[in-house]
Amino acid sequence: MATQQAPQWSQIKGWSGLGQYRKPEELLAAFFSASKVGFAIVDDQLRYQVINDALAAMNGIPAADHLGKSVREVLGEAASHVEPMLHRVLLSGEPVLDAFLTTHIPARRSVGHWILHFFPLRDRSGKINGIGEVVSEITEQKALQDKFASVASKLQQEKERLEMLLEISTAVTSSADLQEVFPAISSAIRRIVQQDWTNVSILEKSNLMRMYAIDFPLEPGLIPQDALIPLTQTASGLTVLEGRPKIFTRDELSAVDSPFLSRLLNRGIQSACCVPLITPRGTIGSFNLASRKEDAFYPEDIGMLQQIAALLATALDNTKAHSEIEELTNRLTQEVRYNRNENHVENKTEIIGDSPALVKALQKAKTVAPSDATVLILGESGTGKELLAHAIHRLGLRRSSQLIKLSCAAIPSALLEDELLGHEEGAFAGAISKRIGLLELADGGTLFLDEVGYLPLHLQTKLLRALQDGEFERLGSTETVRVDVRLLASTSADLGALVSTAQFRSDLYHRLNVFSIRMPTLRERPQDIPLLVRFFVKKYARRTNKNCAIMPTGAMDALLNWNWPGNVRELENFIERAVILSNGPILNVPIKEISC
């Protein structure tokens, strides 16, 4: 039977210098002819012998002009990043994989980013006589990543502002005396604005401004609290007269004939911002900030400062509005507290792996997600049950609402009911205000109960009622609260066995077990270990600003042979530790820890 002859490299379109290489693998030739993958061969003197058009284009030089030239002649100073890796391949005979390179190549105008792979090439005697290079350019992806980082930075700034507003709102509602909590309010603002003077002035008798609350750490007591100053002798008074926020430069402050402002200017104040305090009955005063920096306040700060001013005005205006703010703040406190905890976890919905066992679980999740059915996720600790819950929520009809998580194993049983249902003011000793529970916080969205087997029996009864009838009562209240919640639950325990020993209600078990999914252990999906290792290495190398991407010889075999009793969580912690221990491009894998 005739066999098909492999094509000569010199016949492949887009290649230069292939005449001397006569027997390449057909699959390799086809792969490296791809337009977006660069490939080259350099000899043991680091001179180009073969190169395809894709890599030539990355280097900014025609392919033919590479041949016979050294890497340094082509790449210039950028070669100092590449040559050590090439020499390592020549000396060790081991490939270098997933090497990241950021540098400037002489023939290109701007800095580029690449992923490099180097493989030793041997003659028939086994001697290394060249190196194969595989190069993928990720410059565009890096630019996109930087853009995402910029967006993330803005989101972080917005998050900090929201947390500041929450802190201020909490302080305002925690005391009927604004003067008492004003230093804490000023301190919270200073983390964002970095002002030196903070003040609330109240309009008195239509022509005077009273210094109601002051925070001036540079010189406490400079202006007496409750001092009365003519309206036209303060920047805040001018703001009240105009009825709109105003930013003042030093020259504008100096133009006001005011002994009060002169004292501030003599202490180095360079700029100020005043925001009127507006209530339904009109403007009652002004919220004022000043700084020793020029141009310390920007128009984009006005919206945030108006929100703070609104909180202060409400606190001063009436107790009814104060009570309404307390109610909203209580709910916002719970939401931000939960979201702050969630922000510490990366890639909540990313499940790594393509093993049959995992794919089966993911397919079941995809099937049940669009429904509103309760889902019970089974599996050992560390298998990723929470990640699967996030995936189900993200694929479900409630994805635009929050997924609220409660870890039943992490909270003492005596506190679980308060955490889940909330309480009214005075419900028990220490309940100084009403608290909204996570079940109510999840209204319209999804509630995920992690390790549901830890719920005490009396709370199981209340949860069953909430699931079946959509209603419950907070601790200390007879008022029924109605909720519309989808429930996802997980457990590493055998709930059936708990039912048989009367430790878990059978009716709740059947209500939870409408649709069950078992997350496989890592022992059942060993083929996913290399994917997980690469993911965790990149994650923690990026977090620790390290470039450790090379897996030592034999390390992967050790990882594959370990049974991982802690599953994916144990593997992640192990790889994080390896990254921390690494000081160079080669990952320092503590194999002895898993070879006992």
pLDDT at 117: 94
Domains and their CATH numbers in the chain = 9-137 (3.30.450.20), 159-318 (3.30.450.40), 345-518 (3.40.50.300), 523-594 (1.10.8.60)
Q: What share of the chain has pLDDT > 90, as a percent?
A: 54
Mean pLDDT of the chain: 85
Torsion of CA 244, 248, 251, 253, to 10 degrees: 80
Average pLDDT over residues 431-451: 88
The rounded distance, in Å, linking the Cα atoms of 159 and 304 is 12
Report pTM: 0.46
| Residue 425 vs residue 370, higher pLDDT | 370
The rounded distance, in Å, linking the Cα atoms of 475 and 423 is 4
CB 50 within 8 A of CB 40: yes
Name the residue type at position 136: S
Strands 486-491, 446-450: parallel, antiparallel or unpaired by DSSP?
parallel
- Residue showing tokens 């005077």: 208
pLDDT at 91: 93
User: Where residue 332 falls among pLDDT bands split at 50, 70, 90?
Assistant: low
pLDDT at 596: 57
Q: Is pLDDT of 422 > 90?
A: no
pLDDT at 436: 85
Instruction: Write down the number of H helices and E strands in the chain.
Output: 21, 21
User: Where residue 334 falls among pLDDT bands split at 50, 70, 90?
Assistant: low
| Residue 498 vs residue 324, higher pLDDT | 498
User: Where residue 12 falls among pLDDT bands split at 50, 70, 90?
Assistant: very low
CB 338 within 8 A of CB 404: yes
Average pLDDT over residues 79-107: 92
pLDDT at 16: 53
Q: Is pLDDT of 386 > 70?
A: yes
pLDDT tens digits, one per residue of 208-234: 898 988 999 888 888 887 788 898 888
What are 436's strand-pairing partners? 422
The rounded distance, in Å, linking the Cα atoms of 167 and 226 is 25
pLDDT at 2: 33
User: Where residue 554 falls among pLDDT bands split at 50, 70, 90?
Assistant: confident
Q: Is pLDDT of 32 > 70?
A: no
Q: Is pLDDT of 110 > 90?
A: no
pLDDT at 345: 41
- Classified as helix, coil or strand, 135 is strand
**Sign of the Cα pseudo-torsion (254, 260, 262, 263, in order):** negative
The rounded distance, in Å, linking the Cα atoms of 418 and 422 is 5
DSSP state of 131: E
pLDDT at 101: 92
- Classified as helix, coil or strand, 19 is coil
pLDDT at 149: 78
pLDDT tens digits, one per residue of 159-191: 888 888 898 888 888 877 788 888 999 999 998
Closest CA to 420 of 428, 432, 411: 411
Q: Which structure tokens are listed for 549?
A: 């991407």
Q: Is pLDDT of 382 > 80?
A: yes
Could you tell me which residues come within 8 angstroms of residue 437 by beta carbon, excluding any fewer than 6 positions away? 334, 418, 419, 420, 421, 422, 423, 474
